[in-house]
Amino acid sequence: MEVELETSWFLQCLHAYFCFFLIFTLITILPLLPLLFSLLPRPKQWCTCEICHTYLNMSWSKQFDNLCDWYTHLLKNSPGNTIHIHVLGNTITANPDNVEYMLKTRFENFPKGKPFSLILGDFLGRGIFNVDGDSWRFQKKMASLELGKLSIKSFAFEIINCEIKDRLIPLLSSFAASQKEKHRVLDLQDVFRRFSFDTICRFSFGLDPKCLERSLPMSKFATAFDLASKLSAERAMTAFPLVWKLKRALNLGSEKQLKKAIKIIHILAKEVIRQRRKMGFSTHNDLLSRFMCTINDETYLKDVVISFLLAGRDTVASGLTSLFWLLAKHPNVESEIRREADRVLGNNQELTSFGEMKELHYLQAAVYESMRLYPPIQFDSKFCVDDDILPDGSLLRRGTRVTYHPYAMGRIEEIWGPDCLEFKPERWLKDDGVFSPENPFKYPVFQAGFRVCLGKEIALLELKSVALSLLRRFQIQLATRPHPTLRFSPGLTATLSGGLPVLIREREVAPA
């Protein structure tokens, strides 16, 4: 009893003390509020022009589904297809001459730069995506040496095939076999994200997270990865960078979440390396084992692991998701892909060789065309080191962020002609039906110039193999009435908000 009384007396004192403290703090702080407001971080350049005003109060969202659609509208209607968002200190361009100038002609004047590496530094460390200069040159040399080898391409082909045959097709078949209609609805985006996560982990580290196994939940690693990617992208979009820096210093809100997600990723990435070391790496084919023969620094290896996951996971899933959305809306293209496959591969449903895939020109054209309209990386930014002038006459002050915008570029008539908004794989084919690539600065979906994507061939192989295997076996229909355009959620890679719900049926006349 005595103890209870003492405790309640103590709690009352504590309560009184806190009330006093709160009132005292409020009384002291109130007169200082105007001063505190004046110290709040402001955008780099305080600007009231119509574009900046529309950006800051987000009124663009009344007319456009996505920020990238608003930018496209502005870029289409501006001279030289270049705009300036002053409050972000960002010049955005959809002009191929400007893109070539940034990515090739004056490459040294347009690195990723310190502001970018600060934004993504916690997540990506010193990985290839986040560095310039010697560190980038070293990683690029190593990665391109390995990724250029025929042996690694065959290894990738083997993994992709295996994942399709042993997991993807059985999963879709089991959905198709469900009797009730509602059981046949599947979120294809989620399936592709699991597929590409398994594939890139097996390819890069020789380890299998089995995300596509129906009974298993998405791995902790993948979930933390999604969150870190989303929150890091939000850092890049803010007009008030000081806010996230303060939140990070005080470990508050989204920055606290980001820190937690990154911690999980780092622990798991180090575990991947530890396991690889334990299993022995000198005789293995995966990318990490190849890197481990040359690099001994644990943190560096961890950054390599994370960068390759980012490179190969969401991009491929995003490319597949928009391809299947477009195909569902264009049955004529789908039929043409099947006809070509029957002609080139006959009745054989198995993907037999890397070489055979190269003969499927229409399929390649469909994949390119879908990423022209829906590039997995919708925009990409660099920083201008010294004052410069872009070929269209835009003046750049040192320190300006310069962004090229593949999403907008795919919608510009001057680049692709009056039918630019149509999904037409034929635009990529010569008269004899052979695929003909375009100038990469008109189509910087894989970037272009010195920092062009190193996994391009592997990514195309993955996209084509999945498309071919699924289209020949299944009929895939959108489960909801298609909205005329896609809606994206914020992130480093284009992701559909709401996923891609589809209905799956086995095709009636499956080839023997």
- Contacts of residues 214-217 at CB distance under 8 Å and 24 or more positions apart, as own/partner, are 214/171, 214/174
**Of 43, 209, 312, 410, the one binding ligand HEM by CB under 6 A:** 312
What whole-number distance in Å separates Cα of residue 324 and Cα of residue 97? 32
Q: What number of chain residues touch ligand HEM (CB under 6 A)?
A: 22
Nearer to ligand HEM, 341 or 458 (CB): 458
For ligand HEM, which stretch binds (CB under 6 A), given 93-101, 294-302, 376-384, 415-423? 376-384
Nearer to ligand HEM, 122 or 380 (CB): 380
For ligand HEM, which stretch binds (CB under 6 A), given 225-233, 252-260, 311-319, 410-418? 311-319
Determine if 315 is a binding residue for ligand HEM (CB under 6 A): yes
For ligand HEM, which stretch binds (CB under 6 A), given 214-222, 271-279, 309-317, 343-351? 309-317
CB of 272 to ligand HEM, least distance (A): 16
The footprint of ligand HEM on residues 137-156 (CB under 6 A) is 140, 143
- Residue 292 · residue 206 · CB < 8 Å: no
Letters for 185-224 (x = contact with ligand HEM by CB under 6 A, - = none) are ----------------------------------------
For ligand HEM, which stretch binds (CB under 6 A), given 23-31, 232-240, 315-323, 434-442? 315-323
For ligand HEM, which stretch binds (CB under 6 A), given 4-12, 14-22, 166-174, 308-316? 308-316
What whole-number distance in Å separates Cα of residue 460 and Cα of residue 495? 19
Letters for 99-138 (x = contact with ligand HEM by CB under 6 A, - = none) are -----------------------------xx---------
Nearer to ligand HEM, 367 or 504 (CB): 367
Q: In 3D, which of 432, 435, 437, 327 has the Cα closest to residue 374?
A: 327
- Residue 244 · residue 238 · CB < 8 Å: yes
**Of 111, 206, 319, 440, the one binding ligand HEM by CB under 6 A:** 319
Task: Say if residue 140 is exposed, middle or buried (CB neighbours under 10 Å; 0-12, 13-18, 19+).
Answer: middle
Determine if 260 is a binding residue for ligand HEM (CB under 6 A): no
**Of 451, 464, 472, 473, the one binding ligand HEM by CB under 6 A:** 451
- Residue 448 · residue 441 · CB < 8 Å: yes
Q: In 3D, which of 93, 92, 84, 94 has the Cα closest to residue 47?
A: 84
CB of 288 to ligand HEM, least distance (A): 12
Q: In 3D, which of 97, 283, 96, 124 has the Cα closest to residue 206?
A: 283
What whole-number distance in Å separates Cα of residue 259 and Cα of residue 505? 43
- Residue 70 · residue 403 · CB < 8 Å: no
CB of 191 to ligand HEM, least distance (A): 16
Q: Pairing between strand 90-93 and 401-404?
A: parallel
Determine if 380 is a binding residue for ligand HEM (CB under 6 A): yes
Q: Is 453 annotated as a binding-site member? A: yes
Structure tokens at 19: 């009330």
- Taking the C-alpha atoms of 367, 370, 373 and 379 in order, what is their torsion angle to the nearest 10 degrees? -50
Nearer to ligand HEM, 241 or 375 (CB): 375
Letters for 459-488 (x = contact with ligand HEM by CB under 6 A, - = none) are x-----------------------------
What is the H or E stretch that residue 488 is in? strand 488-489
Residue 49's region, left for phi above 0, alpha for psi from -120 to 50, else beta, is beta
What whole-number distance in Å separates Cα of residue 70 and Cα of residue 309? 30
Nearer to ligand HEM, 150 or 509 (CB): 150
Nearer to ligand HEM, 129 or 441 (CB): 129
CB of 80 to ligand HEM, least distance (A): 23
What's phi and psi for 491, nearest 5 deg?
Answer: 175, 175
For ligand HEM, which stretch binds (CB under 6 A), given 65-73, 212-220, 324-332, 372-380? 372-380
Nearer to ligand HEM, 88 or 176 (CB): 88
The footprint of ligand HEM on residues 413-442 (CB under 6 A) is none
Structure tokens at 470: 């699924």
- Residue 503 · residue 477 · CB < 8 Å: yes
Q: Pairing between strand 474-478 and 90-93?
A: unpaired
For ligand HEM, which stretch binds (CB under 6 A), given 22-30, 68-76, 228-236, 446-454? 446-454
- Residue 386 · residue 399 · CB < 8 Å: no
Structure tokens at 445: 């979906």
Q: In 3D, which of 151, 161, 153 has the Cα closest to residue 352?
A: 161
Contact residues for 284 (Cβ-Cβ < 8 A; gap 6+): 206, 276
* Residue numbers at the binding site for ligand HEM (CB under 6 A): 128-129, 140, 143, 308, 311-312, 315-316, 319, 376-377, 380, 445-447, 451, 453-455, 458-459
> Which residues are annotated as part of the binding site for heme?
453
Residues at the binding site are 453
